[in-house]
Amino acid sequence: MPEQVLFTPAALEEPWGQQILQRVQALNLPVEYLKQNRITGLRGETERETYAISKRTLAVVTAPASQFKLTPIPPSADWQFHLAQGCPAHCQYCYLAGSLQGPPVIRVYANLPQILDNLAQYEKPDQPTTYEVSCYTDPLGIEHLTGSLAECIRYFGTRDRGHLRWVSKFDNVDGLLNLPHHGHTRCRFSINAAPVSRFLEGGTASVAERLQAIRKLALPVERGGGGYPVGFVVAPIMPLENWREEYTQLLDDAAAALDFDCDLTFELISHRFTPGSKEVLQEWYPNSKLDLDEANRITKRNKFGGIKYVYDKDTMKELRSFFEAAIAQRFPQAEILYWT
C-alpha cells in the first residue's frame, strides 16, 4: 500500500483515472489532488530519502505521447507497452535502476483505454504478435490499486493475433482467475534461488507464494484455476555458493507446484549490470551484498556502444547447461524461450 496517492488534473479527467480514484478511496489511502500535471516535491535530503519517499508514493498521471510509439523488446516479445512506470518492491539488483530517470515514484497511467486502442496497429497481418507489459513495472504488484492488468487481459482476449505477456514477483492473482483471456495472455513469475529471493528481493511475495500463484493461474478452469498459459522467468541467475543445490531445490519446488499438464515456458537471464545501474543501485542499497565487482565479470557492448558486465564464457556455459538439463528432466514439455 502506498502512503500517499497523487492525482494530476489530467489523470482526474480520464474515466480510468476515476476508476483508480474509487479504488484508492475504498482502501482509505490519503489522496492529494495536484494543481499541475508535473510530479514534484518528492526529493529528500539524500538519494536514500528520495528513494524512500518515492517508493511509498503512487502518482496517477497520463502516459505521455512518446508512449504511443511502441518499441520492440527482443528476446521477450515483439513490442513493449506500459501501464505504469516504477514498482513498489525493493530488489537490490532492480532492472529499473539506470533505465528510468528521476526519483523511483510509481506512476500509473489513467489513459489506459487509449493505450490499449493504440496497440492493434502494431499487429502483424498474418501471425501472432506478442506485447510485453512488464518492462518498467510489476503490473501485479499494483493491480489492487489500478485494475489495469485485468483490463489488458480482457482486451487481449478479444484479439485474434495479439498476445499479452507479463511477469511478476507478487501473488495477488485471485482477481485474474475468471477473466475471458482466451489463452492470449501468458502469466510469468520471476523466481530465484533462496539466497537471492530472501536477501535481495525486499517487499515481494516469497517464492513459495509465487509458486502457489502460478499454480492457480495454470490450473484448468474445471479444477478452479485460470487455465492460462504460464511461464517461469529465472532471473537474475547468479553462480552463488552451492548454486547447483540452490537452483535444484528451486526447480524441484517449481515442479511440485506445477504437477499437472500445462502450457509452460522458461526464460533464463543471468545477472548483469551497467556502469549506470551500478551507480544508482549503490545509492539505493548502500549495504547490499550483491556482487557488483567489475573484476568478476567480462564486458559486453550493445549495438549503441553501451557497456554491460556479464559473467565470463565458462561460467555462462556451465550455468546454461545445468539449467537446460534440469528443466528438460523436470518439465519435458516446456519450451526454453531464451538464455541470456
Question: Which residues are at the interface with ligand SF4 (CB under 6 A)?
Answer: 87, 89-91, 94-96, 138, 169, 204
Residues 6 or more apart whose Cβ sits within 8 Å of residue 237: 192, 247, 268, 269, 270, 271, 319, 323
Which residue in this structure is represented by grid cell 528481493? 201
Query: Which of 62, 204 has the CB closer to ligand SF4?
Result: 204
Query: Which of 204, 270 has the CB closer to ligand SF4?
Result: 204
Please name the amino acid found at residue 260: F
- Shortest distance (Å) from residue 91 CB to ligand SF4: 3
* DSSP type of residue 206: P
Q: Pick the closest to residue 99 from 118, 64, 73 (CA basis).
A: 73
- Shortest distance (Å) from residue 190 CB to ligand SF4: 7
- Shortest distance (Å) from residue 76 CB to ligand SF4: 14
Query: Which of 6, 200 has the CB closer to ligand SF4?
Result: 200
- Shortest distance (Å) from residue 172 CB to ligand SF4: 13
Separation of alpha carbons 269 and 165, rounded Å: 16
B/e letters for 106-130, b = 16+ CB within 10 Å, e = fewer, are: bbbbbbbeebbebbeeebeeeeebb
Query: Which of 89, 337 has the CB closer to ligand SF4?
Result: 89
Query: Which of 14, 201 has the CB closer to ligand SF4?
Result: 201
Contact indicator for 297, 310 with CB cutoff of 8 Å: yes
Query: Which of 138, 171 has the CB closer to ligand SF4?
Result: 138
Contact indicator for 147, 48 with CB cutoff of 8 Å: no
- Shortest distance (Å) from residue 183 CB to ligand SF4: 26
Separation of alpha carbons 254 and 289, rounded Å: 26
State how beta strands 57-61 and 129-132 pair. Answer: unpaired
Within 10 angstroms of residue 194's Cβ, the number of other Cβ atoms is 16
- 111, three cell numbers: 489513459
Separation of alpha carbons 229 and 214, rounded Å: 10
The torsion region of residue 183 among left (phi > 0), alpha (psi -120 to 50) and beta comes to left
Contact indicator for 264, 232 with CB cutoff of 8 Å: yes
Query: Which of 90, 320 has the CB closer to ligand SF4?
Result: 90
- For the chain, report the end-to-end CA distance as a whole number of angstroms: 34
Q: Which string of DSSP letters, residue by residue, matches 20-66? A: HHHHHHHTT--EEE-SSSS------SSHHHHHHHHHTEEEEE---GG
- Shortest distance (Å) from residue 77 CB to ligand SF4: 16
- Shortest distance (Å) from residue 67 CB to ligand SF4: 18
- Shortest distance (Å) from residue 211 CB to ligand SF4: 16
Query: Which of 134, 265 has the CB closer to ligand SF4?
Result: 134
Separation of alpha carbons 36 and 39, rounded Å: 8
Query: Which of 168, 185 has the CB closer to ligand SF4?
Result: 168
- Shortest distance (Å) from residue 277 CB to ligand SF4: 11
